[in-house]
Amino acid sequence: MNKFIRKTFINREYSWLQFNERVLEEAYSQNNPLLEKCKFLSIFTSNLDEFFMVRVGSLFNELLVNPQAKENKTGLTPGEQLDGIYKYTKKLYDMRAKTAKKIFAELKKEGITIENARLKNKKAGKRFENYFQKTMLPLLNPIVIDSKHPLIHLSNLRMCVILHLEHGGKNFFGILPVPNKCDRLIIDQDESGVKMMTSEDLTYYFANKVFSKYKVLSKAIVRLTRNADVNTEVYSVDYELEYDFSKLLKRKVDSRTNLPSVRLEFSSANKIIENFLCKNLNINSNQCFTIQHFFDYKFLFSIDKYLPQDKVAKLKYPPLQSRALPLAKAKSVMSSVLARDLFLFYPFDSMDTLLDLLDNASVNPRVAGIKITIYRLDKQSRIVEALRRASRNGKDVTAIIELAARFDEENNLHVAEILKEAGCTVVYGVGNYKVHSKIMLIVLQEGENISYITHLGTGNYSESTSKQYTDFNLITANHEIGSDAADFFRNLSMGDVHFNYAKLFVSPETLKEGLLQKIREQTTLAKKGKPAKIVCKMNSLTDVDFIEEFIRASIAGVEIQLIVRGICCLLPGVPGKTENITVKSIIGRFLEHSRIYSFGAENPEMYISSADLMTRNTEKRVEIATPIIDEKIRSKLSKILEVIIADNEKASYLTAEGKYIRKQEPGQSSQQFFIENAV
């Protein structure tokens, strides 16, 4: 019996590992072009790294504070969850090794050979040796550990070569960090093709020469993963007049390099080196993993430049040409949206429509102010430039920036400083609630009359992710929504998150109860024998209150279709409980990131939202769900959902046994449909 499944619930961490396994399946699938499979292999590894730093890190924190605590779905303690995670991870590493071997064989057929000095007993080419001697050797900092030189600090995800040495009848350990300033890939190219070696393999290969006065008994490349689950909460003692949250956050982020170890990876099994590091790093053997091939695969993103361009085109998806939104006879986006609501579906619709609107607002004399929430941005952002321009043009610009956006803290601190220097009003979120909502308000003034243009979306204000993530966007001049938005920004600027709005559901106050009530309304209809239907698309479903409400709706006879890309803690298809619920996950070329909640069998009520149905979103963050009022946009969204529900090519279905399966029948990729067809 799977201890990670209980009745109608699935453990959160187990479900996440299943999701990442589906990502890895895309790297193995013959349906994807070779260079796209390389991308999926890299994404799988990056996902796993972040999972260990954050989720495993948080379980370690809980283990220290309350080891007997039981999670609210399957009753597992932190220790039981960690044991299961480490066992599942070993399985995933085996799958990754099989996938990488297959990909490397396919690359070799295309003329690219990735050398692995640890797996092949042969000499390195002259080109590799010259690079090591000329470029790498001057950057190396070898250390022999003894009483005067104890074990050096191993940084998070930093690769090092560890050597077991012998000299004068005594044993030592040597450490050789792989230089950060070197190229990750070293290239040897001739008429026979392209040979590549990573910097860590080159360091490993020539490590004996660095420690030439010692006898090298054994060696291994290692990589340590540290807990990065930094607590960004602040307490009343911190709130003083000179208090600056940005400085506190920077100190907490900097502390990540010193947090406890959660995983240790080795390039080859070596008990002597493993025991030495486990003892000195306070890590257990079950946290150690032997890695075939490489620790990460980011270098695979750059190998296309070593192939002929005509060949690259065949080994990738055809480039996507995002549509510019047709604006009929309108001269600008602003005049168009004042006439009717606009809908953007990234990446199939271009973000340029929204950026053009903001550019126009920054110089338009009718615009009195611009307000925006910022969670993640590109390092070079048109959004930031437009806000600076607007401020210079005398407009009131307010940016509520979430400094605690995990792994984007430094960039957000930088953006905050740039906007403050430009004269913008910058607010650092709201207390201990992360501001995750995606909303922008343009305030128009004509005499004493005020009107609004509001943008609400499911994704970040990032130009790069708008080309990689699927997201829904509404741009509306609806006065009630605009008035809600104005109240929203005013309340957040004063630190007030407990407020009711006319049209918007906003967490932590009204979003959860608002959406739960919509589910209950469908349950009531079903009990009366009337048609009742719920369709929800999200990234994750973990909130127990929503899961239990879905179960009650299913028992009443409501048809429930859930499209959940990642974590899903609800088990569908259980007789008498969830037999009216289906759950599917789509992993495709673009990251499925759009969130929509639809209620009703005919002419359904629809909300798009920045929030997943997770407790952290519904209770611990500031999120927004906005109704779709325009009938044409609701009709468009209904058609989009129909296509997604019909997707059999990229979809996996969750069974009552807690497994994800692919349907072996002809189907259509929804993303490919959206590329080929205007919705």
Other C-beta atoms closer than 10 Å to the C-beta of 584 total 23
Q: Which of 636, 630, 667, 633 is nearest to 650 (CA)?
A: 667
Asked if 285 and 168 sit in the same domain, the reply is yes
The sign of the CA dihedral 428, 430, 434, 439 is: negative
Other C-beta atoms closer than 10 Å to the C-beta of 487 total 17
Q: How far is 288 from 263, CA to CA, in rounded Å?
A: 6
pLDDT value of residue 678: 56
Other C-beta atoms closer than 10 Å to the C-beta of 199 total 23
pLDDT value of residue 677: 83
* Structure confidence by residue, pLDDT tens digits, 153-172: 888 999 999 999 999 889 99
Q: Please report which confidence band the pLDDT of residue 124 belongs to, taking 50, 70 and 90 as the band edges.
A: low
Question: Do 557 and 523 contact (CB within 8 A), yes or no?
Answer: no
**Domain CATH for 109:** 1.20.58.310
Q: How far is 547 from 55, CA to CA, in rounded Å?
A: 21
Question: Do 541 and 8 contact (CB within 8 A), yes or no?
Answer: no
Does some domain include residue 248? no
Which segment of 36-40, 146-150, 370-374, 632-636 scores lowest on mean pLDDT? 146-150
Asked if 353 and 388 sit in the same domain, the reply is yes
Q: Which of 113, 109, 92 is nearest to 45 (CA)?
A: 92
Q: Are strands 449-457 and 581-586 parallel, antiparallel or unpaired?
A: unpaired
Q: How far is 595 from 612, CA to CA, in rounded Å?
A: 7
**Domain CATH for 267:** 3.30.1840.10
* Structure confidence by residue, pLDDT tens digits, 472-497: 999 999 999 999 999 999 999 998 89
Rounded (to 5) percent helix, strand, coil in the chain: 40, 25, 35
Asked if 107 and 212 sit in the same domain, the reply is no
Does some domain include residue 5? no
Asked if 339 and 416 sit in the same domain, the reply is yes
Query: What does DSSP assign to residue 282?
Result: T
Q: Give catalytic status of residue 593 as yes or no.
A: no
Q: How far is 654 from 567, CA to CA, in rounded Å?
A: 11
* Structure confidence by residue, pLDDT tens digits, 610-645: 999 999 999 999 999 999 999 999 999 999 999 999
Structure tokens at 297: 């695969």
Does some domain include residue 368? yes
Q: How far is 541 from 215, CA to CA, in rounded Å?
A: 55
Does some domain include residue 671? yes
Does some domain include residue 438? yes
Asked if 65 and 154 sit in the same domain, the reply is no
Structure tokens at 498: 């407990």
pLDDT value of residue 332: 86
Other C-beta atoms closer than 10 Å to the C-beta of 576 total 7
Asked if 588 and 527 sit in the same domain, the reply is yes
Does some domain include residue 265? yes
Q: Domain range spanning residue 617?
A: 508-676
pLDDT value of residue 280: 87
Q: Which comes out higher in pLDDT, residue 13 or 403?
A: 13
Please count the structural domains in the chain: 4
Asked if 139 and 264 sit in the same domain, the reply is yes
Does some domain include residue 133? yes
Out of 470, 503, 536, a domain closes at 503
pLDDT value of residue 149: 63
pLDDT value of residue 239: 41
Catalytic pick from 164, 293, 436, 593? 436
For every residue of 16-66, DSSP letters joined together read HHHHHHHHHHHHH-TTS-HHHHHHHHHHHHHHHHHHIIIIIHHHHHHHHH-
Using the predicted structure, report yes or no on whether residue 604 has a pLDDT greater than 60: yes
Q: How far is 514 from 72, CA to CA, in rounded Å?
A: 23
| Coil, strand or helix at 243 | coil
Asked if 170 and 216 sit in the same domain, the reply is yes
Asked if 564 and 618 sit in the same domain, the reply is yes
Q: Helices 382-392 and 409-421, interaxial angle, to 10°?
A: 20
pLDDT value of residue 270: 87
Q: Which of 352, 299, 588 is nearest to 468 (CA)?
A: 588
Does some domain include residue 347? yes
**Number of helices and strands in the chain (H, E):** 19, 30
pLDDT value of residue 327: 66
Asked if 299 and 285 sit in the same domain, the reply is no
Asked if 371 and 478 sit in the same domain, the reply is yes
Q: How far is 409 from 572, CA to CA, in rounded Å?
A: 38
Q: What is the mean pLDDT of residues 229-241?
A: 49
Q: Please report which confidence band the pLDDT of residue 256 belongs to, taking 50, 70 and 90 as the band edges.
A: very low
Q: How far is 479 from 629, CA to CA, in rounded Å?
A: 12
Structure tokens at 415: 């953006």
pLDDT value of residue 435: 93
Q: Which comes out higher in pLDDT, residue 65 or 538?
A: 538
pLDDT value of residue 562: 98
Other C-beta atoms closer than 10 Å to the C-beta of 578 total 23
Using the predicted structure, report yes or no on whether residue 244 has a pLDDT greater than 60: no
Q: Please report which confidence band the pLDDT of residue 518 belongs to, taking 50, 70 and 90 as the band edges.
A: very high
Asked if 124 and 204 sit in the same domain, the reply is yes
